[in-house]
Structure 1
Amino acid sequence: MADAVRRKPNMAKEKVKMPEQDPNVRNSNFEEVALGYTKEMAMEEATRCLDCKKPFCMEGCPVNVPIPRFIEQVVAGNFEKAYEIITEENALPAITGRVCPQENQCEGKCVRGRAKGCESVGIGRLERFVADYHREHGEHKTPHVEKNGKKVAVVGSGPAGITCAGELARRGYDVHVFEALHKTGGVLSYGIPEFRLPKTIVQAEADGVAEYGVDFETNVVVGRTITVDELEEAGYDAVFVGSGAGLPRFQGIPGENLNGVYSANEFLTRVNLMKGYMFPDRPTPVKISPTVCVVGAGNVAMDAARTAKRLGAENVYIVYRRSEEEAPARKEEIHHAKEEGIQFKFLTNPIAVNGDEEGWVKSITCQEMQLGEADASGRRRPVPVEGHTFEIETGTFIVAIGQSPNPLIRQTTPGLDTQKWGGIIVNEETMETSRDSVYAGGDAVTGAATVILAMGAGKKAAIAIDEKLSGK
């Protein structure tokens, strides 16, 4: 850094360990697993940063956080200044610090992590610490923004929508966010469990965006309550669609319509958004059996399995047709799941759900698999081992194999080009769709992906909208 005194870095090979709840305690409660750094821990971890002349870590950040600059402030104990630096580019640091796959992004590019036996700097942990410190100790300042007289509609209050809204509001636009559910936050509220992302933090981050003058309106289903055409007729100068990917996919195997079969989307929404884990204090019972099977091995599958364990299931199985090396979930999530007693059945593919006389799940039939040649995704293709099937007795089967965008918007917006599978087609430089002044980003475009990638798309769209409407 040109404006900082050079210092001798801390050459410790491992990150400062993050305090966590004991696995045998946390697997029966919904309190946050990771407890966060103290000031001393954060400052010690920050000294591991080499303050590289060429910060490769920034190349891995979809929202371009100036990582070395904020870490240098943590080293000096200037946590509020660190927060100011982060939020120049990232409006939701308390969220991204918790749920970003840093190991594949900023930390994946960290020079420290390239050395044998050495861990990258804990950038995500430091970002989380700074955001939490600001929320608990920082001075509250209501921002003042000069309005420019133009207004933009944002569809969806998930990470893409809320980022786009915040960026535009900072630039002086009147922004109105339409959310289909009764709570803001999108997937941050309905999809990610309390023990990974407390909802008070989601609300606090949304409130921070609202302070720039963003109006949020819930219980509005764009495509049903109001259409994109009607938003334009109402005088909005641009529309950003960040409606996510909430339409669950199923395997298409026999028995998926039995009682006791959930999509992970429904299961997590009942528990997270509707507080099913607080029944009977909240009127949303979630029926599960002593043994629960979850098909899939992404982060959503880990969330569903760990949630089922907390709801009282004695045996919870992750059933996945590939090996652990191919599992798309973060390594940290798999590690936490194993610690909490989740059992993994790799190279196993459910081929039928079997029911009892009353129409409830009683077991699943599984096919043993082996890995063959690589497929289009670069992963080895799973192929059946002929003659090797077996059953798992279970009363609850949760399908967590992905989601697609809801078809409502594409069905009610003439001239909006989409992929065969439902994703909205955009210009990747500007995020503009085939409809003039209609933009889109996040899971509505890519299908289910990460929070930070959705935020990056929302930010890119906001910049493009500003450039067009301001005539830059």
Structure 2
Amino acid sequence: MTNNPLPLKDRMQIQRHTMPAQAPQKRVSNFNEVNQGFSSELAREEAQRCLQCKDAPCSQGCPVHVHIPDFIDQILAGNMLGAADAILQDNLLPAVCGRVCPQEKFCESRCVLGKKGNPVAIGSLERFTADSTAADRAARPQGEKPAPTGKKVALIGSGPSSLACAGDLIRFGHEVTVYEALHAFGGVLIYGIPEFRLPKSIVAYEVDVLRRLGVKFEKNVVIGKTLTINELFDEQGYDAVFIGAGAGLPNFLGIPGEELIGIYSSNELLTRVNLMKAYQDQSVTPIFNFKDKVVAVFGAGNTALDSARTSLRLGAKEVHIIYRRSEEEMPARHEEVEHAKEEGVKFTFLAAPLEFLDNGEGWLKGVRLQRMELGEPDASGRRRPLPIEGSEFTLDLDLTVIAIGNGSNPLLRDTPELQFTRRGTLEVNPESLQTDKAGVFAGGDIVTGGATVISAMGAGRQAAQSINDYLSQL
């Protein structure tokens, strides 16, 4: 029985609501969050669009399997804490996922309304639920703790896969400690995603939820240096280890001139800005002055878009996204592409870099590019870009950001029992996510390569169940 009073026909006539946002000309001059969130009225109207499908295809499309119709129905009932609880059964990071999950590729892609129109704005409703209940959720008791199992699990990295894994493990009754190499918790949520997309206070809140559940957090611990995996077992007394260290080793283009001054990896730029506030006047880790500079970003994923939009906020005069495929092949979220266009980012498609140009003093002055055309699909399913002979051209530049993906951190390769693929990712059993080393599991970008936050969380939950099964047999 649904709490929606509208007949089915009337629900289908309601148009999808757009998330209110800062005006483009205003937001490019600040790092405040762009999207402003639904009001109660907008949220209720959007929730009325849900058809409450019995088989819930949207939930089937969610990597962590949130019971989406249930939480939307609770919004209609006016029971916001009930809506939050429906989400929290499967997702302890709703405020994060409501902001950065590419719902159009997961839950919303399965929405029945999307077959002939626009799907329900599930992500916006999730964000509204999380934000509107944050104070109440922080104030209420955490409920009864499960009986302790006496088993200890160490989690390497504090990104989304580890946080999701920790949430399930602590609710199984295990003792859980998360080790983070940096001085703030959240992994890519903290250092990789800009403040204007995901405020750091949101991440801190979600981490604190886990801390109040009993998860322990240790910062400034580099597993592979400070402690090895074997020491976690032999000296620290852990019964199992989960590796959720992400993929933090930047890939580069491998073309001449890439060593020139003025060329950043997206990892360095975003970490300095997001984690170390390098845009502030008195920052102890400053970056090159972007003001009035021409910047090119190579890549077309969310990280590339984040780098381009960050460059604008640092004062760049002109920012280009350069991508060797077409706009249709861009892996970035549609919303981020639209926001970038609104803010003035210029897009050059079907162009590949050949060489960075030196000003004679070791500084970048430009890039030589070649036009491309699309051939047959490659292993990724996207059409392969092929060079067009005689189509080279030059673009004058001051700064460049390389955002073409990442590999795994090499520190963990000191553990001989772990097996790595040719791409540098960890090999695991696809069902259990267990590595070749007994008691060691892994998930997220360290296994798949760069992917989405919600996919990493799904892997974390899958690993938590496998770890629990493993520990029950000890």
* Fold shared, TM-score > 0.5 on shorter chain: yes
Match in the other structure for 1:126: 125
Distance of 1:247 and 1:13 partners within structure 2: 46
Match in the other structure for 2:297: 294
Match in the other structure for 1:311: 314
SS in 2 for 1:211: helix
Identity score, percent: 53
1:158 counterpart = 2:159: yes
SS in 2 for 1:293: strand
1:110 counterpart = 2:111: yes
Deviation at 1:208, TM superposition (A): 0.4
**Count of aligned pairs:** 467
SS in 1 for 2:458: helix
Deviation at 1:4, TM superposition (A): 5.8
Distance of 2:115 and 2:346 partners within structure 1: 32
The CA deviation string for residues 29-54 of structure 1, in whole angstroms up to 9 with x for no partner, is 10001000111111110000001111
Deviation at 1:191, TM superposition (A): 0.2
Structure 1 contact 142–211 (Cα < 8 Å) conserved: no
Match in the other structure for 1:148: 149
Deviation at 1:60, TM superposition (A): 0.6
More deviation in 310-319 or 360-369?
360-369
1:360 pairs with one of 343, 363, 367? 363
Distance of 2:329 and 2:38 partners within structure 1: 31
Deviation at 1:295, TM superposition (A): 0.5
Structure 1 unaligned regions, length at least 5: none
Distance of 1:177 and 1:137 partners within structure 2: 26
Match in the other structure for 1:235: 237
CA separation of 1:147 and 1:319: change in aligned 2, threshold 3 A: same
Structure 1 contact 179–219 (Cα < 8 Å) conserved: yes
- Which consecutive segments of 4 or more residues in structure 1 shift more than 4 A? 3-7
Residue pairs, 1:69-468, within 5 angstroms: 69-115=70-116, 118-138=117-137, 140-143=139-142, 144-145=144-145, 146-233=147-234, 234-280=236-282, 282-289=283-290, 290-409=293-412, 411-468=413-470
Distance of 2:434 and 2:365 partners within structure 1: 48
User: Which one-letter code corresponds to 1:267 in the other structure?
Assistant: L
Match in the other structure for 2:52: 51
CA RMSD of aligned residues (A): 1.4
Deviation at 1:138, TM superposition (A): 4.3
User: Which one-letter code corresponds to 1:274 in the other structure?
Assistant: M
Residue pairs, 1:33-44, within 5 angstroms: 33-44=34-45
Deviation at 1:167, TM superposition (A): 1.1
CA separation of 1:413 and 1:183: change in aligned 2, threshold 3 A: same
Deviation at 1:12, TM superposition (A): 3.2
Deviation at 1:231, TM superposition (A): 0.3
User: Which one-letter code corresponds to 2:190 in the other structure?
Assistant: S
Deviation at 1:371, TM superposition (A): 1.4
User: Which one-letter code corresponds to 1:343 in the other structure?
Assistant: K
Deviation at 1:352, TM superposition (A): 0.6
Deviation at 1:172, TM superposition (A): 1.2
Structure 1 contact 288–308 (Cα < 8 Å) conserved: no
Structure 1 contact 112–121 (Cα < 8 Å) conserved: yes
User: Which one-letter code corresponds to 1:283 in the other structure?
Assistant: V
Deviation at 1:389, TM superposition (A): 1.1
User: Which one-letter code corresponds to 1:225 in the other structure?
Assistant: T
Distance of 2:232 and 2:386 partners within structure 1: 49
More deviation in 418-427 or 178-187?
418-427
Deviation at 1:8, TM superposition (A): 2.3
SS in 2 for 1:91: coil
More deviation in 142-151 or 303-312?
142-151
Structure 1 contact 322–369 (Cα < 8 Å) conserved: yes
Deviation at 1:7, TM superposition (A): 5.0
Distance of 1:43 and 1:36 partners within structure 2: 13
1:8 counterpart = 2:7: yes
User: Which one-letter code corresponds to 2:281 in the other structure?
Assistant: F
Distance of 1:414 and 1:17 partners within structure 2: 51
User: Which one-letter code corresponds to 1:324 in the other structure?
Assistant: E
CA separation of 1:139 and 1:29: change in aligned 2, threshold 3 A: closer
CA separation of 1:45 and 1:386: change in aligned 2, threshold 3 A: same
Distance of 1:459 and 1:242 partners within structure 2: 11
Distance of 1:236 and 1:325 partners within structure 2: 47
